[in-house]
Chains A and B, each alone.
Chain A
């Protein structure tokens, strides 16, 4: 299955490939959670990742971001292979958010974003203790940049709020701001609108467009089909760990296999959406 797509270029500027994942496979014992998935993301592109629950979308994300070391396959970012270490991945320019929000709950919004700046600053222990010029410069820059990012995602007035006290939608946006603080070239969003009402979803979509317009590439996992088909330039559909189809929203939307994967055909296979190892391994053999 080749993934290098030939879809017509979207209206905005799309550059060369920034992320190239080829043949990514992740096995947990006998269970093949992700099987030989390829994905290419270009600069300035929004790519959607859909699939029924348990299709391996988040596992695939974890393989990309170094939380898991893929059993086989390679992830290249801006032309160089990524080591399977989360920190190195962030340093290379790929940041992520989490499906279940993982903010630093007892820190304020500003502090959360400032933590995101960690990997782009380097003041050591000595200059921190002595308050050397480097420390002061970096600390000031970090604070200013963090506030900018909070303004960017629309949380400029919540600077001193504790993350745990913020409304759900704000927490999602704060997580995006924190990811943006790492100066990424590509941002991976894991279900950014889960649990949001239509209005918040609309705001999230605007925010993602804004992020894209500032020159970043975006990969989004979502279950909200309207959201994903309105947002994305391309969509990859994963089913039981395998890439089912990849194409423009229109192509994916009308593909009978996608509909089948979500709704089922009414035949023998019960659609309890979980990866069942025997099924997957059988498919892997064939």
Chain B
């Protein structure tokens, strides 16, 4: 094994940084002010923002400010000679400080706005708020005056002992769980937004310092640990909710959406086919589950056990995928998008019209099929609360666990297909369809397979969704839903797992949690997508290959990716 860190000494000779002597103390004063201010009262009104009105008893938002300040302190100390100077060799502390300073100023400004909007005007801001705001501003100014230091070592190539890697993953995951539980527990919109801002600022700061690239490398080295830890966190989430169904209903909705988006990710992200009618496959699974359920409105007399229903639903969706795919996959690009869009609408209208007047009565038309009972599998009733370890897990938690298993299966199918000859074939088709065909790749067959597998997985999710919602109706499966699925993929990062799950979470969580947001969600998501296309077309989390595809001309990027590949090979 080669020791990589010795191979990359400081590439460029450190240019003597022009130090502004007062910049560093300025930052220190800023940090101190933020902390002091956070211990004082921020607002006169104790009923808003979870009570920030008591001196020396910081509320949630104040604690977040203190956490950010402490992080800034660590980075500041890393800049200078001292106990943390070794850390400074590894981290790009100045960049991190700039993000933290700017972000913290924004955070405090938003806090002041929130206080003056929630109660009446700035008059209700107490001195603590101003002190913290001034501290944050000083920190920002100090950070921007600090010189950028040449980085001595690249953290992404650091080799650390395995226990440290695993500890880092565990800490990150625990922090994720804690933040998720805390943020979802926030009732009012302002606190939630501020919490999101805090997470975004801290995450960006960690990325800028390079700390995250080390965590990412650690995750690469211990992929199994990372996967297990992610699932453990997801598994533990319901236990943090004290039996409350409010957040669990959102979480299950996110999981259904995420699982469906992952299925679509196979079609769009791997095979590169634009499918604008994907929601129809989810719908067909749901309708199959509904018509075969014991609901009084179910139209088919056959009541098989749920496992059979799941298979039937998935297979019906897959067959629909094959039926729509076999004539249309010969066309490509825009044409395929239009045809699939049409198919999505055909599905909706078919469900609308199969009401007994225009054809056989399968779906009760616009009324849909209500009253679908809760699942009962092997004597386990999903409708009632259970109390493992004395913690109450409500109805939605039950479905949450089932969906977790489903999404695990979808992710498994996604990664393993991607890393097989089938996945290579898909990449080849995306790269150069003609050449792929000339090299013996079954282009049509592989496209059809992507369609069928994607439809199968969506059908699977649909059967669970029907029971969880308790009703199906045609208006649940409108074009907008397909568009949102696609938006989640594009936003998060085509062809990635983490990215698409992140995108799905953002797109589903924000409108649920922020009522005012949901009115403007089309506008805001539209703006967000336009910005993404302009500045980061590969999505929030970029798949290595997609990044290359989006930046055909970028030689540096290609070199960087290749360097990574070679480093991995060396290890």
Instruction: List residues of chain A with CB under 8 Å of any chain B CB.
Output: 65, 67, 86-87, 90-91, 95-96, 98, 102-108, 111, 114-121, 123, 125, 128-131, 135, 138-139, 142, 159-162, 164-165, 178-179, 182
Contacts and interface: CB of A to CB of B under 8 A. Distances in A.
13 contacts: A95-B439, A104-B432, A105-B431, A107-B431, A118-B439, A123-B421, A125-B453, A128-B417, A128-B420, A129-B413, A129-B417, A160-B565, A182-B440
A125 B421 contact: no
Nearest to B444: A87
Interface of B: 412-413, 416-417, 420-422, 424-425, 427-428, 431-432, 434-443, 449, 453, 545, 548-549, 555, 558-559, 561-562, 565-566, 569
Most central of B417, B431, B442 by chain A CB within 10 Å: B431
A116 B439 CA distance: 6
Given A115-B424, A115-B439, A118-B424, A161 B562 contact: yes
A167 to B, nearest CB: 13
Nearest to B412: A129
Contact of A131 (B416, B421, B453): B416
A105 B432 CA distance: 9
Given A125-B417, A129-B413, A179 B439 contact: yes
B440 A106 contact: no
Contact of B420 (A95, A123, A161): A123
5 smallest A-B Cβ distances: which pairs? Answer: A119-B440, A90-B440, A128-B420, A102-B435, A104-B431
A115 B428 contact: yes
A161 B569 CA distance: 11
A131 to B, nearest CB: 7
Contacts of B566: 160
Given A65-B438, A96-B438, A105-B431, A114 B424 contact: yes
B424 A121 contact: no
B493 to A, nearest CB: 16
A118 B424 CA distance: 9
A129 B416 CA distance: 5
Chain A CB within 10 Å — which of B432, B434, B436, B439 has the most?
Answer: B439
Given A125-B453, A128-B422, A162-B562, A118 B440 contact: yes
B436 to A, nearest CB: 7
B449 to A, nearest CB: 6
B432 A118 contact: no
Contacts of B441: 87, 115, 118-119
A135 B421 CA distance: 9
Contacts of A103: 432, 435
B437 A86 contact: yes
Contacts of B417: 125, 128-129
Contact of B548 (A111, A162, A178): A162
Given A129-B413, A139-B421, A165-B559, 9 more contacts: A106-B427, A107-B545, A115-B436, A116-B439, A116-B440, A123-B420, A125-B449, A164-B548, A179-B439
Given A102-B432, A125-B417, A165 B562 contact: yes
B421 A114 contact: yes
- Best-buried of A118, A121, A130 by chain B (most CB within 10 Å): A118
A106 B428 CA distance: 9
Given A96-B438, A129-B417, A107 B432 contact: no
A95 B437 CA distance: 11
Contacts of B442: 87, 118-119
A139 B416 CA distance: 12
B358 to A, nearest CB: 37
B438 A86 contact: yes
A91 B440 contact: yes
Given A104-B432, A125-B453, A87 B558 contact: no
A179 B431 CA distance: 17
A91 B441 CA distance: 10
B421 A121 contact: yes
A121 B440 CA distance: 11
Nearest to B423: A128
B284 to A, nearest CB: 20
Contacts of B443: 87
B62 to A, nearest CB: 48
Nearest to B456: A125
A275 B77 CA distance: 75
